[in-house]
Amino acid sequence: MSRRLGIKVAGIAVLLLAAASAHAQGVGINTTGAAADTSAVLDLSSTTKGFLPPRMTSAQRAAVVLPATGLVVYQTDGTTGLYVNVGTPAAPNWTAVSTGVGGSSQWSTTGSNIYYSAGKVAVGTTPSQFRFTVQDTGTVFRVQSNNNTGLMASLGGYGQVQVDAPGVAGGRLALLGNGNLGLGVVNPTNKLSFASVGGKKISLYPVGPSDYGFGIAAGRLQVYTDGSAGGDVAIGTDNAGTFTEKFAFKNTGALAAGGSTGTAGQVLRSSGSGASPTWVSPTAQEYSSLVDIQTTSTVSLNAGQLEVALPGMSTTVNVAGNAKLVVSLVVNVKNYECTLCPGAAAYLTLMVDGAVARTVNATMNNGTSSTMTPTFVVPVTAGSHTISVNGSALGKAVVFGSTWPGASSLTIQVIQQ
Question: What digits encode the pLDDT tens for the residues 15-52?
Answer: 444 444 445 578 888 888 888 888 888 888 998 999 89
Instruction: Determine, yes or no, domain membership for 172.
Output: no
Instruction: Determine, yes or no, domain membership for 236.
Output: no
pLDDT of residue 38: 87
Both 315 and 409 in a single domain? Answer: yes
Instruction: Determine, yes or no, domain membership for 243.
Output: no
Instruction: Determine, yes or no, domain membership for 363.
Output: yes
Both 398 and 316 in a single domain? Answer: yes
Instruction: Determine, yes or no, domain membership for 304.
Output: yes
Which strands, in side-by-side order, build the sheet including 199-203?
Answer: 199-203, 213-217, 220-224
Both 19 and 69 in a single domain? Answer: no
Q: Quote the mean pLDDT of the chain.
A: 82
Residues 235-271 pLDDT 10s: 999 999 999 999 998 888 899 998 899 998 888 888 8
Looking at the structure of the chain, the number of domains it has is 3
Lowest mean pLDDT among 75-84, 117-126, 397-406: 117-126
Gap between the Cα atoms of 68 and 260, Å rounded = 92
Instruction: Determine, yes or no, domain membership for 254.
Output: no
Both 10 and 90 in a single domain? Answer: no
Both 81 and 119 in a single domain? Answer: yes
Both 59 and 39 in a single domain? Answer: no
Both 1 and 113 in a single domain? Answer: no
Residue 100 has pLDDT above 50, yes or no: no
- Percent of the chain residues past pLDDT 70, beyond the cut: 84
**Boundaries of domain holding 38:** 1-49
Instruction: Determine, yes or no, domain membership for 39.
Output: yes
The pTM of this model reads 0.44
Cis peptide before 374 (omega within 30 of 0): no
Quick one: pLDDT band at residue 104, thresholds 50, 70, 90?
Answer: very low
Both 36 and 56 in a single domain? Answer: no
The CATH number of whichever domain residue 317 belongs to comes to 2.60.120.760
Instruction: Determine, yes or no, domain membership for 373.
Output: yes
Both 396 and 360 in a single domain? Answer: yes
Both 45 and 89 in a single domain? Answer: no
Residue 204 has pLDDT above 60, yes or no: yes
Q: Please name the residues in contact with 107: beta carbons below 8 A apart, sequence gap of 6 or more.
A: 95, 96, 115, 116
DSSP letters of 389-416? EEEEEESS-EEES-TTT--EEEEEEEEE
Residue 342 has pLDDT above 70, yes or no: yes
